Amino acid sequence: MKKRILFVLLFALTAGLIFAAGGTEKEAVAAAEGPTYGGRLTILNHVYNAEPTSPDLADGMYDHLYWLTPILEAPVVGDLEKYGPRGNGEYKFQSRGYIPWKYLKGHLVESWEVTEKKITWNVRPGVYWAGRGIMPDREMTADDVAKDLIYFWKAVGATRWRDMISNIYTTDKYTVVMDFAMFSPFIMYYVGYEDRALVSPPETEGVKTYEGQVGTGPFMFKEYAPGSYLSFERNPNYWKTTMIDGKEYKLPFADELRSMIIPDQATATAALRTAKVDFFQLTPYDQMESLRKTNPELLSAEYTFGGPVASMNCSEPPFDDLDVRRAMFVGTDFRAFHDLVGLPKDSKLHWYPYYILNPESYVPLEKLPAEDQLLYKYDPALAKKMLADAGYPNGFDTNFVAPAGKEDIADLLKFQWEKIGVDVKIDMVDNATHVNAIRSKTYKGTAYSSLDVVSPSNTIIDYGMKDKLNNYSVWWDPKFEGLATQVMSVASEDVRNGLMKEALFMLFEAATCIPLYPEPLGHFWWPWMQNYYGELTITDGAVEPVMAYVWIDQALKKKLGY
């Protein structure tokens, strides 16, 4: 228990390393001694603002599969016990859509092997379906997993990986094999822990009701109250345990997990503020500071998945010249953009193309070569000289295409770039026109875009490879193309990591876009959620698998007045 209280203090002091400090020392009041079972845990999850639709994978309502995550489980998950804050603290599990292979562990799949030819999954023995009268409470087998994969394979959402697999079959009771038609580094994400990679038994294929769902998860369906909540009760025969202070405990701790449905954002925030919910996964960033003032007992975590950039069309002058692009970096006051959205004075300027929270790939600014560190030191006089040296002594005219609602960013860019002799014509357009301009690469000069950098392989391929839809900067380099092609074809994670680091550095040095600021995201929770350390997800955005580890400190809740 001492470990938990110490963490709360440390978290309050360190959560602001990316953006602003989150939490407060006030939550370190006396807590109950040791984990306890029982009570209801109430959350606002990733899709809290929309009514659940069909849970059938074949219907293509993929966002709504998050409602199933208390019941159904993924083949692999992030290893929060070894690498998360409760372990060695190496990875915070505050990303969505990608977890480095190093930080994954087997879940329904006990272990796996990936080669350039196939994936072999060793299904975990002794895991049982909670049949609930719909089907027998029988053991999950490789045949179940294979049939689920095949159902997934044929579903609408498998279009991204259907052509990667040529065959799915079992070799014995606990072994599933997927033969590759073509290898992809994304395949373990698609079939292993993506939002759609939830394993259900063949008996429930095509079932379109939540009460008809059967899984292996920590909870079972309890009740669906349209317009109000979806609730789940504790699975008494759940297979997973956890160690706390050297003692083993069965999961989950809560008797009930209730996921609220609240379409109105203000109402959702009020529910957190008044402790009607214990956890809010997508707390609006513009309300986070207010919450800290009105409810200083709340704990919070802040992070980013990426953010807005000013893409430069590298296929045409003047931005086909690297020296010009570097000058634009030096002539951009990044700190002013961070101030524009309320980021703290010590927020990280260097976040593209690296994901800040991935120690496997992130290179801190201070470890970059001196000439690259220079890019973030705002110096209009130097930028003007760099433009003159590149052949533009009088600067030049350019455009900035942006969607309506981004006027403040456009105005600030115009103000800054005028100081270095670059006259900007702002072209504010509707969202559809803007998307068409950046995806068709028909814009002139520069354009607003927003980039997700969580997955290094996605970043390399989408933002650097020739003719890719999201290569908004229209940049191409044959050496980079060769590296990116290798990243897509190598099964060895160690080899691929080395290639990715080299490719990311090349993409950074190409200076194809101006990374204006990392978009701030975060979530809040009440301190009576014990054994919770700020993790966002151990799958693809779903927080529910983490909630199985949480126990409710009723005494602390009462002491805080709730």
Overall pTM > 0.75 = yes
Q: What share of the chain is helix, strand, coil (3-state, %, to 5)?
A: 35, 20, 45
pLDDT tens readout for residues 310-323: 999 999 999 999 99
What confidence score (pLDDT) does residue 15 get? 40
Q: What is the pLDDT of residues 468-519, one digit of tens each?
A: 999 999 999 999 999 999 999 999 989 999 999 999 999 999 999 999 999 9
Section 358-363 average pLDDT: 92
How do residues 394-404 score in pLDDT, each as one tens digit?
A: 999 999 999 99
**Own/partner pairs, 323-328, CB within 8 angstroms, 24+ separation:** 323/386, 323/389, 323/390, 324/387, 324/390, 324/392, 325/510, 325/511, 325/512, 326/375, 326/386, 326/511, 327/383, 327/384, 327/386, 327/387, 327/390, 327/420, 328/383, 328/417, 328/422, 328/511, 328/514
| pLDDT of amino acid 160 | 86
Tokens of 266: 């203000």
Judged against a pLDDT cut of 70, whether residue 18 lies above it is answered with no
Report the candidate in 551, 105, 520 with the shortest Cα–Cα distance to residue 284: 520
> 478-487 vs 456-464: helix axis angle to the nearest 10?
140
Q: Is the pLDDT of residue 8 over 50?
A: no
What residues contact residue 113 under an 8 Å CB cut-off, 6+ apart? 119, 120
Mean pLDDT of 376-389: 98
Quote the pLDDT of residue 32.
53
User: pLDDT category, 19, cuts 50, 70, 90?
Assistant: low
- Give me the mean pLDDT over the 300-305 stretch: 94
Transcribe 409-427 into DSSP letters: HHHHHHHHHHTTTEEEEEE
pLDDT tens for residues 100-117? 999 999 999 999 999 999
Q: 135 phi and psi, to 5 degrees?
A: -155, 170
3-state secondary structure (DSSP) of residue 328: helix
pLDDT per residue over 48-69, tens digit each? 999 999 999 888 888 888 999 9
The pLDDT mean for the chain works out to: 92
Pairing outcome for strands 521-525 and 279-280: antiparallel
Q: What pLDDT, on a 0 to 100 scale, did the predictor assign at position 284? A: 86
The percent of residues in the chain predicted with pLDDT above 90, rounded, is 88
Percent of the chain predicted with pLDDT > 70: 94
Kindly state the tokens that stand for 430.
């509707």
All structural domains of the chain: 2-301+522-559 (3.40.190.10), 306-515 (3.10.105.10)
Written as six digits, the tokens of 522 are: 């975060």
Q: Which backbone phi and psi does 452 adopt, to 5 degrees? A: -100, 125
Among the ranges given (28-37, 292-301, 512-521), the one the predictor scored with the smallest mean pLDDT: 28-37
Report d(CA 156, CA 247) in Å as an integer: 44
Query: To which residue do tokens 């973030």 refer?
Result: 376
